[in-house]
Amino acid sequence: MPKITFSQAKEFLDNINDKDCVAVIHHNDGDGFASGIIFYDWCKNKGAEVENFIFNFCRWDKKISLEKFNKIIITDIAPGGIEELSLPTDKEIFYTDHHPEREKIPEEILELRTSEEGYIPSSRTAGELTNIKPWLSVAGTITDAGDLYPENDKFINEFLNKEGISLEKFKEEVSHVLGNTLVYFQEDLQEAFKIMKEINSLEDFKKLKKYSEQIEDELSKIIKRFDFEKKKLGDVYFFYFETKYFIKKPLSAIISRNNPEDTIIFATPIDEENLSISARNQSKTKDMAELLRAGIKGLDDASAGGHIPAAGGQILTKDLEKFKENIRNFLKE
């Protein structure tokens, strides 16, 4: 089926009822969680049986069966991840995402893509489709750096003005807390989902601060190391770090916002055999997805993808030096 409109997506959601069994598959970051929780709650409110599944690139459990579901909602997963899901072909599947369309997805999937409208995170789309949990929709948008793009200004500012809260205060008390809580529960993200879906107001976010504060302490320590430990790969900075928590995403967001003109590649261990990589350039003068794809060229069991200002992926630990060599050669060209 061709791509669908916003109205057609809303019609799909409106038609969910108590006879449906729905799977909600969402990315493992703040935007994915926020949009996933919003769609999950929508289905619950419609009386459907619903279950959520958390997606991580190259780590999807092939043993997961989606056969019992008659409808599937997929949110904030770049098109390249759809193939990993091995989706059944006899289900009604709704998919919404905001990543550039580099890969095609099966035609039978109802696809609402927002990339043509600019940088519209999936949590904003979920919020606008359902009109539930607006604080979560805005928080997810900001955790995905949506506040850096003018196309989201009206959406964010209307909410902030209504609540009488500044952007900086909202980041400190809500969106940063959301992101940090996910980092705290990195080894048990379903527990994070269970806790976060019970957040029903801005006031409720205070319940998450006990998790967030521990991550803030760790972030402060690593940020202080950046200026002393970063290395040069051509005109790109490379920063390798090890830490108690998996803080790569909030760390890279903070450092790149503090150094908006710089291109920075971050690398940190996932386990003994794999490294997580990401690249940031807030000025959008270089394509970070292209940069990382060049870095993984010729490497086994490696992946990379994302947007112009921000991209991520993973490589085998043993291939780190080859990855850096690929980056140097790409920059020379």
Predicted local confidence at residue 148, as pLDDT: 87
In CATH, what number is assigned to the domain containing residue 143?
Answer: 3.90.1640.30
215 within some domain: no
Q: How many domains does the chain have?
A: 2
Which of 52-66, 132-146, 248-262 is the most confident on average?
Answer: 132-146
Is the pLDDT reported for residue 221 higher than 70? yes
220-241 average pLDDT score = 93
pLDDT tens, 150-159? Answer: 999 999 999 9
What was the pLDDT predicted at 67? 92
Q: Say if 214 falls within a structural domain.
A: no
Could you tell me if residue 225 is inside a domain?
no
Range of the domain at 43: 6-208
What residues have CB less than 8 Å from 265, skipping those under 6 apart? 233, 236, 237, 238, 239, 277, 278, 279, 291, 292, 295, 327
Between these two residues, 201 and 89, which has the higher pLDDT value? 201
Same domain, 271 and 325: yes
Q: How far apart are CA 324 and CA 307, in angstroms?
A: 20
Q: Which among 315, 268, 31 has a CA at the least distance from the CA of 149?
A: 31
Q: Within this chain, do residues 20 and 162 fall inside the same structural domain, yes or no?
A: yes
Are both 190 and 291 inside the same structural domain? no
Q: Which of 147, 176, 208 is the last residue of a domain?
A: 208
Taking phi first (over 0 means left), then psi (-120 to 50 degrees means alpha), and beta for anything else, what does residue 301 get? left
Question: How is residue 20 written in tokens?
Answer: 């449906």
Q: How far apart are CA 302 and CA 323, in angstroms?
A: 10
In a domain, 220, yes or no: no
Rounded percentage of the chain residues whose pLDDT exceeds 90: 71
Judgement on whether residues 290 and 204 belong to the same structural domain of the protein: no
d(CA 146, CA 138): 9
Residue 224 domain flag: no
Residues 90, 94, 96, 101, Cα dihedral to 10°: 40
Residue 104's pLDDT is what?
A: 76
Q: Considering the domain boundaries, does residue 81 fall inside one?
A: yes
Tell me the pLDDT tens digit for each residue of 157-197. Answer: 999 999 999 999 999 999 999 999 998 998 899 999 999 99
Intra-chain end-to-end CA distance of the chain, in Å: 41
- The pLDDT score that the predictor gives to residue 284 is 85
- For residue 230, the model assigns a pLDDT of 95
Q: What is the pLDDT of residue 81?
A: 84
* pLDDT for the residue 170: 96
pTM over cut 0.75? yes
Tokens at 185, concatenated = 């529960």
> Within a domain: residue 223?
no
What CATH number should be reported for the domain holding residue 235?
A: 3.10.310.40
Out of 208, 241, 268, a domain closes at: 208
CB 43 within 8 A of CB 74: no
What mean pLDDT comes out for the span 26-33?
95
Q: Determine, yes or no, domain membership for 43.
A: yes
